[in-house]
Amino acid sequence: AQTVTQSQPEMSVQEAETVTLSCTYDTSENNYYLFWYKQPPSRQMILVIRQEAYKQQNATENRFSVNFQKAAKSFSLKISDSQLGDTAMYFCAFMIPNAGNMLTFGGGTRLMVKP
């Protein structure tokens, strides 16, 4: 079974600063996808960024980037130039394609961006 662990229940950052959210996972698979989802107070989960395990290059989406360390099974999210609208719950998630296809989620990190 796959597990996803987010060791930081809550974090805060000053507006315009940089923050890194941690995620580790456990799997014996070699091919998989990793995701970071954001859940604002509206409850709707929104994809922030995704990474295919076979790609060595770290994914980047504007102010969001990941540090994917496959051997260490680590997948951290870096948010640069934090904005008030980044305040939300952030969930790390894992999927094995074509094998159930369900997302396994971590417990989440509540991020507060302070003005």
- 25 lies in the binding site for other proteins (CB under 8 A): no
Q: How far is the CB of 47 from other proteins (least distance, A)?
A: 5
- 31 lies in the binding site for other proteins (CB under 8 A): no
What is the number of other CB atoms lying within 10 angstroms of the CB of residue 34?
23
Q: Using alpha carbons, list the distances in angstroms from residue 61 to 1, 7, 12, 50, 69.
A: 30, 23, 21, 9, 18
Q: How far is the CB of 11 from other proteins (least distance, A)?
A: 15
Phi, psi of 20 (to 5 degrees): -125, 125
- 35 lies in the binding site for other proteins (CB under 8 A): yes
Q: How far is the CB of 20 from other proteins (least distance, A)?
A: 19
Q: How far apart are the first and last CA of the chain?
A: 41
- 42 lies in the binding site for other proteins (CB under 8 A): yes
Footprint of other proteins (CB under 8 A): 33, 35, 37, 42-47, 50, 91, 95, 97-98, 100-108
